[in-house]
Chains A and B, each alone.
Chain A
Amino acid sequence: MHVRADQRFPIQIELNGRQREGLAEPRMQLCDFLRHELGTTGVHVGCEHGVCGACTVLVDGVASRSCLMLAVQAHERRIDTVESLSRDNIMNDLQQAFSRHHALQCGFCTAGILMSCVEFLERVPSPDETQVRDMLSGHLCRCTGYTGMVRAVLEVAQQRQETLVENNNDV
């Protein structure tokens, strides 16, 4: 695609399982595009320089900082945000565990953290606490001290493993 600095380009992405299109100048950050063009305001912006992790989304399944990506770079790719996690207003196991363990207060960091956890649990299905803390170190939370998150992630990992075992036993 040939781009000009002052021109807006149509960007097509698969956002949370749906085809979406919006316009973006070449310099527009992906987080701004997702929030203000497409309305997925669950994506939060805390630093715009890649440290806090609040803006984390999945790009083709990989947890990525949407403040460090341009919207044009997301063209024709798959983006998943926090809005994709629940089905019919029923929260997934991770979201429910976050609530049970009081893993959020203001909730501003939470969307990004959930997305990293989603990807992490796929890669590392039975992590230990050190691994969970290490994964969370890519995020800043100012409210909680992380305790509840660590408990929630470990609990979900264990539950998923147990379900897996049960299902296998059923077969």
Chain B
Amino acid sequence: MYMQKSIAEATVGHIGSRQARVEDAALLQGQGRYADDMATPPGTLQAAVVRSPHAHARIRSVDASRALTMKGVHGVLTGDDVKRWSNPFPVGVRAPMEHWPLAVDKVRYVGEPVCVVIADDRYLAEDALDAVQVEYEPLTPIIDPEAATLNDAPILHEGVGSNVVNERNFRYGDPERAFAEAPHRITLKVQYPRNSCTPIECYVVLAQYLPASETYDVMANFQGPYALHSVMCRALNVPANRLRLRTPPDSGGSFGIKQGVFPYVVLMGLASRKVGAPVKWVEDRLEHLQASSSATNRVCEIEAAVEANGRVTALRYDQIDDCGAYLRAPEPATFYRMHGNLSGAYTIRNLAVRNRVVLTNKMPTGLNRGFGGGQVYFALERLMQHVAAELGLDPLEVIQRNLVPAGVFPYRAAAGALLDSGDYPAAVELARRKGNLDELLQRRDQARAEGRLYGIGYAAVVEPSISNMGYITVAMTPEERQKAGPKNGAVSTATVSVDPLGSVTAHVSSTPQGQGHQTVVAQIISELLGVKLESISVNVELDTGKDAWSIASGNYSSRFSGAVAGSVYNATLKIRERMATIAADMWQVSSTDVRFADGKIFVENGPSQPFHRVAGTTHWSPGLLPEGETGGLRETAFWTPPQLEAPNDQDCINSSLCYGFILDFCGVEIDRVTGQVRIDKYVTTHDAGRILNPMLVEGQILGAYSQALGVALMEEFAYGEDGSFLSGTLADYLIPTAPEVVDPVILHMETPSPFTPLGAKGVGEGNNMSTPVCIANAVADALGRSDIKLPLTPSRVRSMIGIDEPAAPEGLVMDAPKVAGGSALQANDLVEIPAPPQQVFDAILDPETLKAIIPGCHALELESENHYRADVTVGVGMIRARFAARVALTDLDPPHSLRLSGSGNSPMGSATGSAKINLVALENGNTRLEYAYEAAVTGKVAAVGGRMLQSASRVIIGQIFTRLAQRLSGKPIDTSLWQRLRALLGMGGTK
């Protein structure tokens, strides 16, 4: 194993040094080459995707004929094409359900792709979206994961007959006995929300179908795992060498989410095939938020068997993972990535686990930084805090009592994880001492003495890295696994070559997203070959047609520093050995005496040659080389750790190769008036083995931590009960900005991993696992409550501390709280009309009047008595949509009352509403028209316009009746500025 100097000793530019990044110069000068910056072949067309406005509906018909006549449109890819040319995506569990890149029979979530329009440019393609007519038969959606498991729930995939598409039960040790013997059984039920580390760059795909070789050549900002290359090939029905997948040099962030671009790789490949030209698709932010990928929301009931001193002897997990509308590879990996280490950092030997995977009408889930860890630790560490609270113990003491002790590593945990190295108690001590815990405890005492709401939270977390490619097969029974054949390991690759002029180029298949892989690769090579760091070129583009890669390639499971950097080390060693042999032969010395430094190859106090001279020999004069030396200098290393074995028949799985340790604690104060959670102090302690570059490690920790603050305090993909997606803009889906991020105190320990070539472990995801629950525990401590739900938004916290709404100022009528569904709207208002009730009543029944008073009504056609078809354009701010609507007048009671209802579909979404109208005769001969309406909006309008809908609907519906009054009086009705302002601000009606 590599013997490393301590950080302080590390030479500039070498492993362990705080080397500035080689990536920065290009990125800081606007010279990054991201997916949307890449050159497109001449004649490239652009795609836009028609998406479902419904959470659950049967597709009755798709008619693209009008779109095809529009300017610049070259073709429309439909479900029929997709069925003709491709296969459903393979999934990891056995259940009869089909997932195609376009919906073929039903749509199962808002935003699901239904058609692809391909046109000359993106603007024209988007224009034509509206012209594709899709007729839907709406079905009842199911959103709540627990309700989805019930027998009477609407079923997403009829072939399966249930929304529970996978269930597995596990037992390790003797949990029944441990629970029976324990003096305490302590239970907690928690929910982990849906969210996403959503990168700032969205998905980009550039696809070209080459008919002569039946090859799909695709560039996409895909990030792996490249096991999904096989999934894409199966879907496209081609051998793997007929899907050439490339990635651009730079990525605008991924955090797991760009794994979810793979269905679009297939989709755009088919789109290119449809039009016979290269097709490019650039996802927009609404598409990204509503239909790319999401973390899996989980419901978990967790129970501990506890001794009086807080020692936990057994755990029982009963978990439901909500994977959305389709089980998309690699799901149900959210469960199994963490399976081996379900006992966390603790020596809990008895486990009972029930895992159910449920499908609901939401976007499908996938990788998201901290994959599976946020979910597991939110349950486990909340439970540990709860155990302490229930037994009146100190939470840190409960943690310490259960930690895996020092000196027992490698330690086999109950469910199979082989914890490679660490000293957990020492890390806790380090955190306590250097993080100044005593002072924080005093601060809490003082705050509480002053009547403030202050709490302290802890989290102890084992951070897995380098996933075992076999862990996902734990979703199958041992018998099913037997049939499918064992899966295990995690092959990483790296290639190092030296060219005829002696410069060094490296290639890694780690598809980085900004972590600085190029810098670390250069550090390793620079140290081993003694060449200048700046002279090394590191290529991180991955081309499946040319480069060394395997199914484990890609950017996930924090595999770089342990696995990929290790392979770089191995490949570079091979180069060094070969060059040392050549030099040794030349000088007739032993190759072990040959040194590499300062651009030279030499023997201490002996001969010396420039590095490039020795390298050049292998290209220019191979005839002079020693026997056995082939010439040329290029070495590819493949590396897979033997510890990553397939799951055994008892379902034990070493799900990852390395396990770092994290101990976090924090102090929070809660504002009694606003409910805001303020982080007072946050301390995070890491042991991730050898640190290859402290600056980059710190960057990873800070980034993960700030994403986790979002998870804890603000981020959630919100769905209405009708399945509407309500977080379609970055103004609705809030992520932390600079003032909200309180810098943490970061502490380090280094216990090298015995299993990786450089002793390093992953470090990039730990805080995504530890920080949300640490903050939740602090809030639980502050409020003395156990029912903590994320995100801890001010409104949620306020409702927990039970603050009364201050009274509204005199004369101000506040909106009634929105009814369930989120996008449902209701209000009432009145208007005085200068005509008697009968005349008003007749006017409403008159089609001409009706047409004139409905804002934006282009045409109104009688269908049957008092039932009309209408063509209406509605605009709210920048959003405009043309609705094919139905309008009906019912419950006629002339001249007193009637009901006006309408419903319509548009590419922007669908809307339904109905208004009860009362006509009251006034003494002056006029009529007071009172109306009360309820409306519901779904689709794009609900996703992006949620904040404006209440006021917008008020304005639009108000217009109907003011126009009626205008028409009957023959003059404009004077609505005062004040009234209009109030209407705009969404305040109450004119009472």
Residues of A within 8 A of B (CB): 6, 25, 27-28, 35, 40-49, 51-52, 54, 81-83, 85-86, 89, 91, 95, 98-100, 102, 104-111, 114, 130, 132-134, 136-137, 139-150
**A33, chain B: closest CB distance, angstroms:** 12
Taking a contact as CB atoms under 8 Å apart, the answer to whether B702 and A147 are in contact is yes
A83 vs B31: C-alpha distance in the bound complex, in angstroms?
A: 8
Q: Which residues of A contact B729 (CB under 8 A)?
A: 47, 49, 51
B535, chain A: closest CB distance, angstroms: 17
Given the known interface contacts A27-B123, A42-B31, the answer about A146 and B201 at a Cβ–Cβ threshold of 8 Å is no
Verify B34–A108 contact, CB threshold 8 A: yes
Binds A, one of B20-28, B99-107, B313-321, B970-978: B20-28
Would you call A139 and B515 a contact (CB within 8 A)?
A: no
CA distance A116 to B601 in the complex (A): 48
What is the chain B residue whose CB lies nearest that of A99? B24
Residues of A within 8 A of B253 (CB): 105-106, 108, 142-143
- Assess whether B695 is in contact with A107, with CB atoms less than 8 Å apart: no
Given that A99-B21, A107-B23 are contacting pairs, would A147 and B743 also be in contact in the complex, using a CB cutoff of 8 Å? yes
A-B contact pairs, 12 of them (CB 8 A): A6-B71, A44-B201, A81-B30, A86-B28, A102-B699, A106-B27, A107-B23, A108-B253, A136-B738, A141-B200, A143-B699, A146-B737
* Interface 0/1 of B170-201, CB less than 8 Å to A: 00000000000000000000000000011111
Residue of B nearest to A135 (CB): B738
Closest chain A CB from B943 CB (angstroms): 12
Report which of A48, A145, A146 forms a contact with B284, defined as CB distance below 8 A: A48
Say whether, besides A42-B30, A82-B29, A133-B738, A107 and B516 are in contact (CB < 8 Å): no
Chain B residues at the A interface, C-beta cutoff of 8 Å: 20-21, 23-25, 27-32, 34, 36-37, 71, 123, 197-202, 250-253, 255, 284-285, 513-516, 695-696, 698-699, 702-703, 705-707, 729-731, 735-739, 741, 743, 944
Smallest CB gap from B288: residue in A: A47
User: Could you say which of B21, B36, B730, B738 contacts A102, with CB atoms under 8 Å apart?
Assistant: B21
Q: Which of chain B's residues have a CB closer than 8 A to the CB of A102?
A: 20-21, 695-696, 698-699
CB distance from A45 to the nearest CB of B (A): 7
Least CB distance from B333 to A in Å reads 22
Alpha-carbon distance between A28 and B126 when the two chains are bound, in angstroms? 13
A107-B731 CB under 8 A given contacts A42-B29, A99-B21, A150-B738: no
- Whether A46 touches B285, Cβ cut-off 8 Å, given contacts A102-B695, A105-B515, A144-B702, is yes
Q: Give the distance in Å from the alpha carbon of A100 to the alpha carbon of B24 in the complex.
A: 10
Q: In the complex, what residue of chain B is closest to A86 when comparing beta carbons?
A: B29
User: How far does the alpha carbon of A106 sit from the alpha carbon of B23 in the complex, in Å?
Assistant: 9
Given A106-B251, A106-B514, also A146-B28 (CB < 8 A): no
Question: In the complex, are the beta carbons of B201 and A145 less than 8 A apart?
Answer: no
The chain A residue with its CB closest to the CB of B732 is A51
A107 contacts B27, C-beta separation under 8 Å: yes
Q: Which residues of B contact A46 (CB under 8 A)?
A: 200-202, 252, 285
Chain B residues with CB below 8 A from A134, complex form: 738-739
Q: In the complex, which residues of chain A have a beta carbon less than 8 angstroms from the beta carbon of B199?
A: 106, 108, 142
Residues from chain B with a CB closer than 8 A to the CB of A130 are 739
Which 10 pairs between the two chains have the least Cβ-Cβ distance? A42-B30, A106-B514, A107-B27, A108-B252, A145-B706, A105-B514, A136-B738, A51-B730, A82-B30, A145-B702
A80 to B123, CA, bound (A): 25
Rounded to whole angstroms, the CA-CA distance of A109 and B27 in the bound complex is 10
A142 to B36, CA, bound (A): 19
User: Please, which residues of chain B bring their CB within 8 A of the CB of A150?
Assistant: 738
Give complex CA distance A81, B31 in Å: 12
Flag if A41 contacts B739 (CB, 8 Å): no
Q: A83-B30, A98-B28 are in contact. Are A105 and B200 (CB under 8 A)?
A: no
B737 A136 Cβ-Cβ under 8 A: yes
Q: Which of B123, B198, B699, B737 contacts A28 (CB 8 A)?
A: B123
Could you tell me the distance in whole angstroms from the C-beta of A145 to the nearest C-beta in chain B?
3
Asked if residues A49 and B730 are in contact (CB atoms below 8 Å), the reply is yes
In the complex, chain A residues whose CB is within 8 Å of the CB of B741: 145-147
